[in-house]
Amino acid sequence: MTIKVGDRLPESKFRVMTADGPQVKTTDDIFKGKKVALFAVPGAYTGTCHKMHMPSIFLNAYAIKEKGVDTIAVVSVNDVFVMNAWKRDTDQRDEATFLADGNAEFAKAIGLELDASANGLGIRSKRYSMLVEDGVVKSLNLEPNPGKVEVSGGDTFLSQL
């Protein structure tokens, strides 16, 4: 079943890179008691994700946080090492938390997995943005075409706050 506005995020685990190496963070660690802008992309460094989606997030990051968002999070079905390198290459001002959903467990749990096997990418996440308050989905902008950023970018997200 696909998650929808009003639903609580299911319990899941992510990997994040810390100064001490990879660590596990749960949905509670990321979302409990916080207002979170969650941006999901099919793959780190892929054309649309890297050249269109990420810039839209970071060009609007200050304004998003000024509207009361505690955390900007980026999730992708990649391993923690790739996500850490992608953070290094895209998040120059350290404005976001990069969440590795390496086995697509979170994507599957919320019903937003994408089968990109035909392109050699396996199971990935659909492209979306989501406002989550204390673990509850308040808005969901699901991109109808994973190769475009028309409803899930930082500018659209900001306009909804």
Catalytic residue among 49, 104, 107, 131: 49
Q: How many CA atoms lie within 13 A of 22 on its CB side?
A: 15
Pairing mode, strands 13-18 and 21-26: antiparallel
Q: Which run of H or E residues covers position 157?
A: helix 154-160
Check residue 86 and give its pLDDT: 97
What is the band of 1 on the pLDDT scale with cuts at 50, 70, 90? confident
Residue 147 falls in the annotated catalytic set? no
Question: Is the CATH number 1.10.3720.10 carried by domain 13-160?
Answer: no
Check residue 67 and give its pLDDT: 97
> What is the rounded average pLDDT of the residues 77-95?
96
Identify which has the larger pLDDT, 120 or 127.
127
What are the boundaries of each domain within the chain?
Answer: 13-160
